[in-house]
Amino acid sequence: MKLLITGASGFVGKYVVAEGLRRGHEIKAVVRPQTDVTRIPWHNHDRLELVRIDLRQEAELTTALAGVDGVIHLAAVKSGDFYDQFAGTVMATESLLAAMKTAAVSRLIAISTFSVYEYQQKRAHSLLDEDSPLVTAERVVNRDEYSQTKLIQEQLYREFEAEGGKVTILRPGMIYGREYLWHALLGAEFGSVLLQIGTRGILPLSYVENCAEAMIITAESETAIGQTLNIVDDHLPTQGKYTQELKKRYPAPKLYYCPWVVMKSIAGFGWWINQTFLKGGAKMPGIVVPAKLHGRFKPLRYTNQRAKTVLNWQPKYSFTASLDRSCGDLELLKV
Amino acid sequence: MTTPLKAGVIGTGVISKEHLSFLATCPHAELVGVCDLSRAAAHYAAQRYGATAAYTDFRQMLTAAKPDVVHILTPPQSHKFIATECLKAGAHVICEKPIAANHQDFEELWALAQECDRHLIEDQNYRFNAPILAIQDLISQGKLGEIKEIEVRMSLALRDGGRFADENLPSPIHKMPAGVIHDLITHLIYLALPYLPSFDHIRATWSNHGGGTLFKYDDLDALVIGGDVHAHFRFSCYTMPETFSFKVRGTAGYAETDLFQPYIRAVYPRGGKQLSPLINHWVNGADLMKASVRNFRNKIMQRTPYEGLKVLLDRTYTALVNGTDLPITYEDMERTSRLIDALVAEENRG
């Protein structure tokens, strides 16, 4: 297959391109014009074509889509204010989908996120799966910019699908790997200090190589068309287990601990103060905003059953093997 | 109760949040349309701020929604073209700064506004921030004497990332005659103009200290003398922390503020020659402490330096409804655009 992959030089994109090449596909890797790719081992692979454009350049994108069988859309902006993220995530997707329509490319593997689910109204320790409700447009304003823009992005995917697009929406959990090990679901970062919030919650993890393989298999799969699939690994560790195993292999920041119920109560109290005395006008740090706190740290259960069934996929690396690979010297992007 | 004016907004970038949040709550306005080339952006803004409809073609909005007032929040290069269409469609225009790419374009736009019997207003928002109004009060009370010097300084770390530093998809503002500084120079100029009677001597040094081709300039050092009043304008991408400071010196005293971290320091005769320095220190110290508490509260309560924009818009809508004088006059805009042109011309003197 000829696959066009956006966000190809990003943390996840690098692994997706590598996996696509390993599985024999021709890859058009979309990177931003000024990106230096020379350090990525696959940058000069003979089945790889680098496409240097910004996704908001619709005309150039249409040209790049010629002859493409499917698109894996990873590109998103996670930093900056709402307007930066809106432009880099929503408007870029809008431009990509318009270009796909013009170029008559209908197959889309749309990479979404667990951040689009409703967490605050979910019962602790209940199951979060593909049938769980999404956060509503009214409630998402209390979440971070990433959740807000990714939710709008999913609406665009649905519209594209309604107009004849062959869409699979993949919602990976927290993707971790060599470049990202002390991740946001472990705690809140304050400079060199990490305040761990809870230790017993199960982490919805997806090791980056497992996740990349699932994305490529999705592109190859006819049965995945029209599906929405959560992507997490098997035998998910708790926050405590993850931290313990990672510390054995990788330098740790200074760790402090706050139990989930304590932090939840602090955030709830902060919210009450804000609503009662400040008319909701105060801007509080993320970890004391209940909607954001629940989205990151609420203990829930997760399943990858639907993805495994639909894709006939099995996460290749176990949790400990994933950590070993992440913390070892092996070149993971070699094709 | 008067009928609210039908308002339309064109462009949904960063500044649109301030305009739209005002319109969503203003009793004199009914938000009938939001327009952006991006359908997703137009729909998001319309839904978030309760607009009647979203559009991707501003002409369609003018025809279908028939707004009485249009807010133009697009890149400066498009202002004249869009404003022309809006005025011809019978709408008053509130336009982001700079209202036009040059003075000639502004004059043509103004002439058209007169021809169409419509109002044309440039967003000169910082003129309505509380510290600027307070300093204006001190001056009008004569406490600073006759104003002889003005210094306006803006420092912004535009080189350190963000939308203006993005080399992958350069902002259209880089194509303006003064590059990225063109987006901000209007603010510097209009704050000084009430105290500058004329532009007799003009010197401006435009620099690109950071080099490269994306930024045309990242530094401006300009002096304008009108009569015996000196105005100094500085823009820097390198002096930190970020600031927007304004200082006036008169024959009796001086006053200063920073609009990004608001405070007022005013030094003028208080209590006789011997006691005056001491009292000024005490009063200024107390004011500074009060300002630090106020700024902390403002930060928590998400009050931004755009407070002046809400005041300007409120006064504008009130004036439009009541048929009274608008808060920004032809002279305000004409002198601002004329001085910007003159400063840019200095760049070409070699």
Query: Considering only residues 13 to 42 of chain B, which have any Cβ-Cβ distance to chain A shorter than 8 Å?
Result: 13-14, 17, 38-41
ipTM value: 0.92
CB atoms within 10 A of CB B290: 12
What is the structure's pLDDT at B350? 53
Q: Give the pLDDT band (50/70/90) at residue A316.
A: very high
Q: Is residue A101 predicted with pLDDT exceeding 90?
A: yes
Residue labelled with tokens 């200090």: A193
* Contact residues, chain B, for A152 at CB < 8 Å: 40, 44
Q: Give the pLDDT band (50/70/90) at residue A202.
A: very high
* Contact residues, chain B, for A87 at CB < 8 Å: 163
- Asked if the Cβ–Cβ distance from A152 to B40 is below 8 Å, we say yes
Rounded to a whole number of angstroms, the distance from the CA of A281 to the nearest CA of chain B is 5
Q: Is residue B289 predicted with pLDDT exceeding 60?
A: yes
Return all residues near B348 (Cβ < 8 A) that are at least 6 apart: none
Task: Say how many CB pairs under 8 Å bridge A and B.
Answer: 49
Give strand pairing partners of A207.
A176
Closest CA to A51 of A109, A167, A67, A210: A67
CB atoms within 10 A of CB A321: 14
CATH code 3.40.50.720 region(s) in chain B: 5-122
Give the mean pLDDT of A254-272.
Answer: 96
CB of B340 closer than 8 Å to CB of B186: yes
CB of A49 closer than 8 Å to CB of A29: yes
Q: Is residue B347 predicted with pLDDT exceeding 80?
A: no
* Contact residues, chain A, for B44 at CB < 8 Å: 86, 90, 152
Phi-psi category of residue B324: left, alpha or beta, with phi > 0 → left and psi -120 to 50 → alpha: beta
CATH 3.40.50.720 assigned to B5-122: yes
CB atoms within 10 A of CB B250: 19
What is the structure's pLDDT at B349? 63
**pLDDT tens digits, residue range B17-31?**
999 999 999 999 999
CA B235 to chain CA centroid, nearest Å? 15
Closest CA to A135 of A149, B53, A263: A149
**pLDDT tens digits, residue range A108-148?**
999 999 999 999 999 999 999 999 999 999 999 999 999 99
- Asked if the Cβ–Cβ distance from B40 to A81 is below 8 Å, we say no
Which architecture, in CATH terms, is B127-307+339-347?
Answer: 2-Layer Sandwich (3.30)
Q: Does A46 touch chain B (CB under 8 A)?
A: no
- Asked if the Cβ–Cβ distance from B47 to A137 is below 8 Å, we say yes
Closest CA to A83 of B18, B154, B153: B18
Q: Please tell me which of the candidates A34, A81, A281 has its beta carbon nearest to residue B167.
A: A34
**What residue spans define the domains of chain A?**
2-181+204-235+301-327
Q: Any idea which fold A2-181+204-235+301-327 has?
A: Rossmann fold (3.40.50)
Q: Is residue A203 predicted with pLDDT exceeding 90?
A: yes
Return all residues near A79 (Cβ < 8 A) that are at least 6 apart: A85
Residue labelled with tokens 């804000």: A274
Give the mean pLDDT of B35-47.
Answer: 97
pLDDT, greater one: A258 or A191? A258
What does pTM read for this prediction? 0.94
Query: What is the average pLDDT value for chain B, to the nearest integer?
Result: 96
- Asked if the Cβ–Cβ distance from A283 to B300 is below 8 Å, we say yes
Which of B21, B168, B297, B299 is the best substitution to test chain A (most A C-beta atoms within 10 A)? Answer: B168
Query: What is the average pLDDT value for chain A, to the nearest integer?
Result: 96
Rounded to whole angstroms, what are the CA distances from B345 to A207, B103, B174? 58, 12, 17
CATH code 3.30.360.10 region(s) in chain B: 127-307+339-347
Q: Does B77 touch chain A (CB under 8 A)?
A: no
Return all residues near B61 (Cβ < 8 A) that are at least 6 apart: B8, B10, B33, B35, B53, B55, B67
Which of A9, A30, A78, A86 is the best substitution to test chain B (most B C-beta atoms within 10 A)? Answer: A86
**pLDDT tens digits, residue range A53-78?**
999 999 999 999 999 999 999 999 99
Closest CA to B202 of B219, B186, B221, B177: B221
Q: Does A262 touch chain B (CB under 8 A)?
A: no
What is the structure's pLDDT at B133? 98
Q: Check the CA dihedral A79-A82-A84-A89 and report its sign.
A: positive
Give the mean pLDDT of A161-169.
Answer: 98
- Asked if the Cβ–Cβ distance from B300 to A54 is below 8 Å, we say no
- Asked if the Cβ–Cβ distance from B169 to A56 is below 8 Å, we say yes
**pLDDT tens digits, residue range B222-231?**
999 999 999 9
Q: Give the pLDDT band (50/70/90) at residue A216.
A: very high
Which string of b and e fits B339-350 if b means at least 16 CB within 10 Å?
Answer: bbeebbeebeee
